[in-house]
Amino acid sequence: MLGKKVPAVTFRTRVRDEAVGGPNPFRWQDMTSDDYFKGRKVVLFSLPGAFTPTCSTYQLPDFEKLAGEFRALGVDDIYCLSVNDAFVMNAWAKGQNLENVKVIPDGSGEFTRKMGMLVAKDNLGFGMRSWRYAAVVNDGVVEQWFEEEGYSDNCESDPYGVSAPQNILENLKARAAA
Ligand code: BEZ
């Protein structure tokens, strides 16, 4: 994906809107790839599932904690994407008290499929999900790419290393120093 543009898709998000009223004041809001990526430098990380152990214990909270360091290196936003619907992603974001990382629901898997990162996880009863990867995306173009090794369907393990925020920060710092 290095040097390529991220796919143009529409994400179905749910946003809070008091004007809706009632006990569940949320509405649908379509967000396009341009809305997320155009004219900004972002770190995107994508993982196999909301609420899963590695993602919930390490990857997402570590990105949240290290957001200030990313910002200092010129990153405007950090996005966490998963092939989960907006209700699940919002519940996960709330449970993690996110203030810095924004979640992107790719419920249909269209973005992930077009990124070439959709894998079967039927061995876990998950269906189609995202392989774990991260990218630095500048104005919609992939500038740096961090894909976990062993991309495959029904993978028995869940590799996690190169897409950790600590590794991405090291790479951003090395670039800044070069
Ligand atoms: C994990 O993040 O630990 C995990 C991800 C996918 C399947 C099972 C566990």
pLDDT score of 31: 98
Please say whether the beta carbons of 104 and 81 come within 8 A: yes
pLDDT score of 152: 98
Please say whether the beta carbons of 119 and 151 come within 8 A: yes
Which residues lie closer than 8 Å to 27 by C-beta, 6 or more apart?
14, 15, 17, 20
pLDDT score of 174: 96
pLDDT score of 38: 98
Give the residue, by CA position, lying nearest to ligand 1 atom 9. 52
Going residue by residue through the chain, which has 178 residues, state the pLDDT in tens, using 9 for 90 and above. 899 999 999 999 999 999 999 999 999 999 999 999 999 999 999 999 999 999 999 999 999 999 999 999 999 999 999 999 999 999 999 999 999 999 999 999 999 999 999 999 999 999 999 999 999 999 999 999 999 999 999 999 989 999 999 999 999 999 999 9
Q: Is 85 in the pocket of ligand 1 (CB under 6 A)?
A: no
Give the residue, by CA position, lying nearest to ligand 1 atom 4. 52
Q: Is 105 in the pocket of ligand 1 (CB under 6 A)?
A: no
pLDDT score of 168: 98
